[in-house]
Amino acid sequence: MSTSPLLRVEDLRLYFRTTQGVVRAVDGVSFDLGYNQAVVVLGESGCGKSSLARALLRLLPRNVQAYDGRVIIGGIDIMSLDDERFRREARWTKISFVPQAAMNALNPVVRVGDQVAEPLVIHRGMEKEAAWERAREMLQRVGLPADFLRRYPFELSGGMRQRTALAMALVARPQLVILDEPTSALDVLTQANIMNVLKEIRGELNTSFILITHDVATSSELANRVAVMYAGQIVELSDAARFFREPLHPYSQKLMASVPRLRDDKKLEFIPGEPPNLMSLLRGCRFAPRCPLRFGRCSEPPPLIRQEDGRRVGCWLYDGGKEME
Amino acid sequence: MESRIEAQDQTSGAVDAGALLSVRNLRTEFELRRWVFARAGFVRAVDAVSFELKRGEAIAVVGESGCGKSSLAKTILGLYRPAQGEVLFEGKRLNTFNAEELRWYRSQIGYVQQDPYGALPPFMNVRRILEEPLIVNRLGGRAERERRIREVLDEVRLTPADDLLPKFPHMLSGGQQQRVVIARAMILRPRLLVADEPVSMLDASVRVEILELLRRLQTAHHLGVIYITHDLSSVRHFSERIFVMYAGQIIEKAEVHELIHDPLHPYTRALLAAISDPNPENVSAFKNVPPGEPPSLVRPPPACRFHPRCAEFMKGLCDVEDPPEFQPQPGHRALCWLYREAE
């Protein structure tokens, strides 16, 4: 791993205040991401993965109870910038975002060209013509014909709108793009198309991706690294090749065993019980109540334990390795 | 067009020979908004669909959004009136039912909706949700109804019943909500379950549990089950046959293993090739996706509807004449001219 990664996240926390109590959506998350890499944040609904995206982008709702830690992108600690500087210097140009159901996030009454060019006009101060020219290039790169610039989003299919949102996120050439469930509302063939486009772009534009998803199978199309989230924390951080062959954390193993495969007749499993409530979390391992392998030590919170091959697992079963930091 | 009535397939396992449901040359249309007197046209959501479902058999209708699979389900449920063709349930024609017969028919089919939260009335608790079908159908007194409700809750593993009965839908997890939907579908002891994307809103770790539950109910009550889904990977474990739908038509029918290991129709092949399994090798490979998008159902392409996107397109045939249903292997049918000599 290089000495200064593109992204370094240290002990990131994002808590929300609600009438029922404090929701610990992101609870001490740390990871690095190199240039031209893709990390997949895998997790089920309510595990805090979308909140992690919001925390990285500083797209925060009003009811934030706590927001701390460090997010360093290209050497700049973006948590220390004030909102205005972050907006001008980082959002769209350093780090951009394709939100969940992005195809419904476009403005229906603004031409595709104006929407895709907008980050350039606003954040890079470009003239409209020049920005449209760049928007045209980007549309072609994501596989849309250039004359789509003059169309309106409602004239496009879901897959085309998803590509438009992607073009918009890429047009100011950020080094890091966060994709929140980029294909989950799309059909299988459209999904395959979008994943093809993402693979191409990563090669051509030297962009890094954070892919936030619950879809294990699709995530394997893009991932170099995998971060498994459970109850607001990363419980396993691994390179993708090792992860998809042999996940280590009991939750990861169970999750992988529940994924149906087209080309494998193995019987599917499920995880009994429910994920914990993020308002009343246990002190120890948060997966322990559902874990078939729990033992005495699980009442203590496990750190991410570093393994010999560089993988990290938040599980006491792997305490043979060296502890992180 | 002559109707294509499917012959009886060989029975497999616990499946009976008798057809529970026959669908013959079914067409469902929706009229587009009219302009004064001019007709704007029709969306032909389901076109020339024929099949038979045996007692105790589960089939999966697989296709992309807009292919007409939900319209097919709703026509079978009697929620849409077919423009042509017929649906026969235990040999009785659905089109001819009067109000009383329709009520009976609807007690014989259970419907499991896609979005459990949307399918449950938020102002009713679990007891009321499950009691209502019994009241509407005037079944049993209060004590009998209570007994049946508890029986069904036990069957869908929502226990202890006393904790769950007073709860409202928002107090339940997604998996529990879907169990309530299934319990409601089962409460009148139906013979057929229609499940429209029953697990697509649920987390991966819960999906298998729900599909296993449906499988258990199918076996225990010898139910016919129709899954409507886009998710081939999971439904293959829980059904006997798979039908693939494209642009309003069922373009391929086969037993699960056959369909997955030896798909015939070029569209089915493309669909299967596009589905990922979790595999680290995926990162370095691009998927081969047919060009274009599924056609509009208002003016679909003439003859074979897949021909503009098909790699095997034969000019002068595929774009001229409707492909009939060929059966190159017993029980494995495809609407594709490639198999014209294989029969």
* Rounded alpha-carbon distances, angstroms, from residue A10 to A30, A31, A68, A234, B267: 4, 7, 9, 12, 47
Where do we find the tokens 């020219």? A133
Q: What is the pLDDT of residues B212-246, one digit of tens each?
A: 999 999 999 999 999 999 889 988 999 999 999 99
| Rounded (10°) CA dihedral B327, B328, B332, B336 | -70
pLDDT of A243 > 80? The answer is: yes
Q: Can you give the pLDDT at residue B143?
A: 94
As a whole number, the mean pLDDT across chain A is 91
Q: Can you give the pLDDT at residue A3?
A: 64
* Rounded alpha-carbon distances, angstroms, from residue B89 to A99, A261, B46, B56: 46, 34, 19, 14
Q: Can you give the pLDDT at residue A88?
A: 84
Residues of A in contact with B290 (CB under 8 A): 189
| CA–CA gap between residue A300 and residue A280 (Å, rounded) | 16
Strand partners, A212: A41, A180
Q: Does A264 touch chain B (CB under 8 A)?
A: yes
Tokens in use for B8? 């009886």
Assess contact for B339 and B264: CB atoms under 8 A: yes
| CA–CA gap between residue B112 and residue A15 (Å, rounded) | 37
- Angle formed by the axes of helices B204-221 and A250-257, nearest 10°: 50
Q: Considering only residues 169 to 208 of chain A, which have any Cβ-Cβ distance to chain B shorter than 8 Å?
A: 187-193, 195-196, 199-200
Order across the sheet with B19-31: list the strands: B42-54, B19-31, B84-89, B92-93
Alpha-carbon gap: A100 to the closest alpha carbon of chain B (Å): 15
| Rounded average pLDDT over A169-177 | 93
Cis check: omega of the bond before B278, within 30 degrees of 0: no
| CA–CA gap between residue B330 and residue B194 (Å, rounded) | 26
Q: Do residue B208 and residue A255 have CB atoms under 8 angstroms apart?
A: no
| CA–CA gap between residue A58 and residue A100 (Å, rounded) | 16
Q: Can you give the pLDDT at residue A317?
A: 95
What count of residues does chain B have?
343
In a 10 Å sphere around its CB, with 0-12 CB exposed, 13-18 middle and 19+ buried, how is residue A296 labelled? exposed
* Residues 6+ away with beta carbon under 8 Å from B288: B270, B273
User: Closest Cα partner for A125 from A153, A88, A150, A155?
Assistant: A88
| CA–CA gap between residue B45 and residue B27 (Å, rounded) | 8
Q: What is the pLDDT of residues B262-305, one digit of tens each?
A: 999 999 999 999 999 999 999 989 999 998 888 988 889 999 99
Q: What is the pLDDT of residues A141-164, one digit of tens each?
A: 898 988 899 999 988 888 889 899
Q: Does A140 touch chain B (CB under 8 A)?
A: no
Q: Can you give the pLDDT at residue B120?
A: 95
Tokens in use for A112? 């595709």
User: Closest Cα partner for B214 from B188, B196, B232?
Assistant: B196
Alpha-carbon gap: B82 to the closest alpha carbon of chain A (Å): 27
pLDDT of A1 > 60? The answer is: no
Q: Do residue A268 and residue B280 have CB atoms under 8 angstroms apart?
A: no
Alpha helices in chain A (DSSP H): 49-57, 83-89, 112-123, 128-141, 158-170, 188-205, 216-219, 240-245, 250-257
DSSP-derived secondary structure for A179-197: EESTTTTS-HHHHHHHHHH
Q: Can you give the pLDDT at residue A30?
A: 96
Q: Do residue A258 and residue B270 have CB atoms under 8 angstroms apart?
A: no
The span from the first CA to the last CA of chain A, in angstroms, equals: 16
| Rounded average pLDDT over B12-24 | 69
Tokens in use for B113? 């909706």
Q: What is the pLDDT of residues B137-182, one digit of tens each?
A: 888 899 999 999 999 999 999 989 999 999 999 999 889 999 999 9
SS3 state at B62: strand
Beta strands at B84-89 and B19-31: parallel, antiparallel or unpaired: antiparallel
Query: In this structure, which amino acid lies at residue B128?
Result: R
Assess contact for A251 and A228: CB atoms under 8 A: yes
| CA–CA gap between residue A116 and residue A177 (Å, rounded) | 15
Strand partners, A72: A8, A77
Q: Which residue has the higher pLDDT, B130 or A146?
A: B130
* Residues 6+ away with beta carbon under 8 Å from B155: B183, B186, B217, B220
Q: Considering only residues 37 to 66 of chain A, which have any Cβ-Cβ distance to chain B shorter than 8 Å?
A: 44-45
Q: To which H or E segment does residue A67 belong?
A: strand A64-73
Residue of B nearest to A47 (CA): B203
In a 10 Å sphere around its CB, with 0-12 CB exposed, 13-18 middle and 19+ buried, how is residue A120 labelled? buried
Tokens in use for B330? 């017993």
pTM of the model: 0.89
Q: Can you give the pLDDT at residue B17?
A: 53
| Rounded average pLDDT over B72-80 | 93
DSSP-derived secondary structure for B140-169: S-HHHHHHHHHHHHHHTT---HHHHTT--G
Q: Do residue B276 and residue A241 have CB atoms under 8 angstroms apart?
A: no
As a whole number, the mean pLDDT across chain B is 90
SS3 state at B99: helix
DSSP-derived secondary structure for A71-86: EEETTEETTSS-HHHH
Nearest neighbour of A187 by CB, restricted to B65, B204, B207: B65
Q: Do residue B208 and residue A221 have CB atoms under 8 angstroms apart?
A: no
Q: Can you give the pLDDT at residue B6?
A: 39
Is the alpha carbon torsion for B104, B109, B113, B117 positive or negative?
A: positive
Q: Can you give the pLDDT at residue B33?
A: 77
Q: Can you give the pLDDT at residue B38?
A: 73
Residues of A in contact with B64 (CB under 8 A): 187-190
- pLDDT class of A261 with cuts at 50, 70, 90: very high
Order across the sheet with A21-33: list the strands: A21-33, A7-18, A64-73, A76-77
- pLDDT class of B343 with cuts at 50, 70, 90: low
What 8-state DSSP symbol labels residue A198?
A: H
Q: What is the pLDDT of residues A178-195, one digit of tens each?
A: 999 988 878 889 889 999
Residues of A in contact with B275 (CB under 8 A): 188, 217, 262
| CA–CA gap between residue B11 and residue B14 (Å, rounded) | 8
- pLDDT class of B1 with cuts at 50, 70, 90: very low
| CA–CA gap between residue A199 and residue B27 (Å, rounded) | 41
Residues of A in contact with B277 (CB under 8 A): 217, 220, 261-264
Q: Can you give the pLDDT at residue A33?
A: 95
- Angle formed by the axes of helices A128-141 and A158-170, nearest 10°: 120
Q: What is the pLDDT of residues B24-73, one digit of tens each?
A: 999 999 988 777 777 778 899 999 999 999 999 999 999 998 899 999 99
Order across the sheet with B224-229: list the strands: B109-112, B192-196, B224-229, B58-62, B241-246, B249-255, B332-334, B326-329
Residues of A in contact with B209 (CB under 8 A): 270, 272
Alpha-carbon gap: B63 to the closest alpha carbon of chain A (Å): 9
